[in-house]
Structure 1
Amino acid sequence: MQKEYIQSLPKYITLCERNYLRALKLLPEESLGNSRELHLGAASYQIRIDGIARYTTDIAVVQKQQISAHLDDFALSVRLYHDAKVAEVIHHDFHQRIKPSYRYPNPDMHHKDEKYQLNAFLADWLMACLESGRVPLNWDVNNGLV
């Protein structure tokens, strides 16, 4: 008989805490609808603020430019919990909410630990953006004098 998957909560919370700190560095000014464009390699991404509440901020991470004909664009919905200082992927590619774990096999072929894997992917993506990403700047070199 196969054992049921049990997620390591300390490992998961640590991952989400690190994602929170990394995400804060990339966020645009916190106002509903504000966005920031990022370039990473040949791909272009947008981080957009979709919702602001007292203790949470919802952001969307959307790929704007396809990297390859063999790879689909991706979109993540991430919720930042400011009171707990964690960030967690709540949707991916506009699908339904992600469960903490799935029985395997399942009709939709989700991995047993899909929620952890998506948050680990977010961690890798945030690190890549912080280390190698580029943000186009709109500087007014004349300070509005011309």
Structure 2
Amino acid sequence: MSESLTERKHLNVKVGYKPDLEEMLSQCELNYWLLKQLSPRFIGLAKEKDNSAGIGEKFQFKTKAVILEFEVTDLAPYTTTAKLMIKTPKIGLKRCLDLIVRLYHDAKMVEVMEGSGPAAMAAIYPTANVQQKNVDEKRQVNRFVGECLRACFDITQLQLVNSHGEK
């Protein structure tokens, strides 16, 4: 006999966080697709014969609310690693969000590897932790990156429509 989630909460049984792998993979795939739409060149760097030529290359996408700056730090045939700085000029935050993202070209996914610190981002954090991270921090950051990419994509689409004189 299985109990529903509401029944377990009512009985004060502690339910642990279980990541939704399907949602996480879908978000990473969507992030890759959005990045490919914004810059096919960025995605295509890994296919070039001289991989070292693309290291240090920068790509910037912006809206009024957010600026995304990617800097390629490592290139391999199936992966690209980049530093991502997310700036929010409209909000006026003094500190930008620094992330390390990895593009998996064979799987067509973008994953946040590291947050604003030296260690890799864990998939799940304990409820009480010294870093004061949310239990689902990695999921939230991947989703936030997706929302920023989507905002840039929407602006790009709007500019394309306006440049063709369409409404």
Letter in 2 for 1:25: Q
**3-state SS of 2:153 partner:** helix
Structure 1 stretches of 5 or more lacking a match? 134-146
**3-state SS of 2:84 partner:** strand
Residue of structure 2 in register with 1:102 after alignment: 125
Residue of structure 1 in register with 2:85 after alignment: 62
Residue of structure 1 in register with 2:26 after alignment: 14
Trace 1:1-146 onto structure 2 (pairs within 5 A). 1-27=13-39, 28-29=41-42, 30=45, 31-41=54-64, 43-63=66-86, 66-70=89-93, 72-132=95-155
Displacement over 6 Å in runs of 4+: none
TM-score (norm 2): 0.70
Cα 1:52/1:120, change in 2 over 3 Å = same
Query: 1:103 Cα deviation (Å)?
Result: 0.9
CA RMSD in angstroms comes to: 2.3
Letter in 1 for 2:31: N
Query: 1:51 Cα deviation (Å)?
Result: 0.9
Query: 1:4 Cα deviation (Å)?
Result: 2.1
Residue of structure 1 in register with 2:6 after alignment: none
**3-state SS of 2:149 partner:** helix
Query: 1:44 Cα deviation (Å)?
Result: 4.0
Structure 2 stretches of 5 or more lacking a match? 1-12, 46-53, 157-167
- Larger radius of gyration between Structure 1 and Structure 2: 2
| Cα distance in structure 2, aligned partners of 1:21 and 1:99 | 24
Cα 1:45/1:119, change in 2 over 3 Å = closer
| Cα distance in structure 1, aligned partners of 2:24 and 2:18 | 11
| Cα distance in structure 2, aligned partners of 1:55 and 1:61 | 19
TM-score (norm 1): 0.79
**3-state SS of 1:89 partner:** strand
Query: 1:128 Cα deviation (Å)?
Result: 0.7
Between the two proteins, the alignment pairs up a number of residues equal to 134
